[in-house]
Amino acid sequence: MGAPPYKLLIIDDSALVRNILAKGLAQDPDINVVGTANDPYDARDKIIQYKPDVLTLDVEMPRMDGVEFLRRLLPQYPIPVVMVSALTERGKAITLDALDAGAIDFVTKPSYGVASGLNNMLNELAEKVKMAAKIDVSHLKKHIHTKKPTPITPTALAVSTDKVIAIGASTGGTEAIRSIITRFPRNISGVIIVQHMPAGFTSMFSKRLNEISQVEVKEAQSGDRVMNGRVLIAPGDHHMELVRSGGLYKVVCREQGDKVCGHKPSVEVLFRSVAKHAGANALGVMLTGMGHDGADGMVVMREAGARTMAQDEESCVVFGMPKEAYVRGGAERLVPLDDMPREIIRVLSSMK
């Protein structure tokens, strides 16, 4: 891990994009753009030459796409990578594959309002580059999945229709969520998740999880029931809240409303609604992520009688949100990611 200014190598097959990114990111005094590369082969030589602290990588490139490059690169050169993604279906798919392959995070290229969208994208990319440069990725390789996980077969899971598991995650969360959800048994209590992600990506992420899990996983829609064996993921650019309707729990997804804690969907919004409507029937889980979204909401959940836990530092990509949840008193304790599914089931079984 380097120290500011962080040495950045930009990899993109478009000379125009390379120029825009290099000029834009060089405006940040904490970023030193040491070079650009037009494809992974050019990048390999420049990685050896410049020894960058962080890379930005276009997801769609000729000769070798970003995912294949990551799979070859990271075992030899564990360098933090931020993907630059197109909003195409193929771009979304490759981006999710890239996160699986070890990329830290991604930003999307603007599709409309290019001038204002470009500035927003460059600002977001600069922040993510600086965050990524501080992350030691060498220990994360063991968390990159290589085989299909075996679901836990609980001996005494108290099957209850009135329990709710609420999960919040950001940077590194797609991998963490997958490692938990794919190990849940099919009768697990209802799960509701906020993962910081743009619209479109949450839908594809949900479909992929659904294909490899025993539980049903879907992008949430207003009115969806929270029920055993179902996982609802908040849609990008919508806040998701839990409500109680008679004896049932449902979710409401709202496109209206400003970002909360800098995000939409926001974990804070979800957790506060869970505290209000589920109280002691809820279990809150905070996973890896930058910032403090949901930390105060988890405090409110705990005050309402909910059980809570957060991911431990060693297994996090970014120990931001879990740390804040723990330090502020929201999370009862820190749990390693590998132990999280079993611990969730244990706590659920102990809840009256």
As annotated, the active-site residues are 170, 196, 293
Token pair for 346:
């244990």
Q: What is the 3-state secondary structure (H, E, C) of the chain?
A: CCCCCEEEEEECCCHHHHHHHHHHHHCCCCEEEEEEECCHHHHHHHHHHHCCCEEEEECCCCCCCHHHHHHHHHHHCCCCEEEEECCCHHHHHHHHHHHHCCCCEEEECCCCCHHHHHHHHHHHHHHHHHHHHCCCCHHHHHHCCCCCCCCCCCCCCCCCCCCEEEEEECCCHHHHHHHHHCCCCCCCCEEEEEECCCCCHHHHHHHHHHHHCCCEEEECCCCCEECCCEEEECCCCCEEEEEEECCEEEEEEECCCCCECCECCCHHHHHHHHHHHCHHHEEEEECCECCCCCHHHHHHHHHCCCEEEEECCCCCCCECHHHHHHHCCCCCCEECHHHHHHHHHHHHHHCC
Residue 84 phi, psi (nearest 5):
-115, 115
122, 123, 124, 126: CA torsion to nearest 10: 80
Measured between alpha carbons, how far is 253 from 266 in angstroms, rounded to an integer? 11
Measured between alpha carbons, how far is 65 from 88 in angstroms, rounded to an integer? 15
Identify the residue whose tokens are 């990111």. 25
Measured between alpha carbons, how far is 208 from 211 in angstroms, rounded to an integer? 5
